Amino acid sequence: MPSAWHCVSMRKHIKNKYARFLAKVSVRDFASDECWQWTGATKGNGYGHLTLERKSVPAHRAAYMLFVGEIHEGSDVCHTCDNRSCVNPDHLFIGTRKQNMEDMSAKGRGAGGVRKHLTEAIVQEIRLRLASGHSPRKIANSMRVNYSTVVAIKAGRSYVGISK
């Protein structure tokens, strides 16, 4: 029987940074045209987060670094799919902060616009639960949606383009 040290050493060897990362990704056949959903920790804003090489890193940036290459200082990692939880390297590209903000604005994802990370069905379900008297906190927790997003939907400041 192997010693405890041998098992720990073996696990670290097998579970490299790529395997640790991919263990927190929900995918179907790793299709390049589909979003790879991050299932690990988030910062509450829809973006995944993890520790990579002893640094706290957004999951989509980690995906880019692991599978594509270096990210130069001051660069953003942008999504072609506009899905904050997506870590598919084929959906990521490098841009400046200005380019990222222009892309966001052009797609109506700025404040008050229709954000792409919640579907129309989810927004309507949130509104239904709010109308039924559920608290924004309870809705956020049960639907795994950012609390401030639920509050903004309730106040009419977010997802205004989705009919009630």
Q: What is the pLDDT of residues 18-65, one digit of tens each?
A: 888 999 998 877 777 888 999 998 877 788 999 887 888 999 999 999
Contact 143, 125 (CB under 8 A): yes
- Position 11 confidence tier, pLDDT thresholds 50, 70, 90: very low
Residues 6+ apart with CB under 8 A from 72: 94
Give DSSP secondary structure letters for 36-105.
Answer: -EE-S-B-SSS-BEEEETTEEEEHHHHHHHHHT----TTPEEEESS--TTB--GGGEEEE-HHHHHHHHH
Contact 32, 88 (CB under 8 A): yes
Structure tokens at 110: 């700025």
Q: What is the pLDDT of residue 126?
A: 93
Q: What is the pLDDT of residue 120?
A: 83
- Closest by CA to 126, choosing from 154, 105, 100, is 154
Q: What is the pLDDT of residue 115?
A: 45
Q: How far apart are CA 107 and CA 77, in angstroms?
A: 17
Q: Across all residues in the chain, what is the average pLDDT?
A: 81
Contact 115, 135 (CB under 8 A): no
Rounded to a whole number of angstroms, the CA Rg of the chain reads: 19
Q: Is the pLDDT of residue 118 over 70?
A: yes
Q: What is the pLDDT of residues 83-103, one digit of tens each?
A: 888 999 999 999 999 998 888
Q: What is the pLDDT of residue 129?
A: 94
pTM for this model (two decimals): 0.59
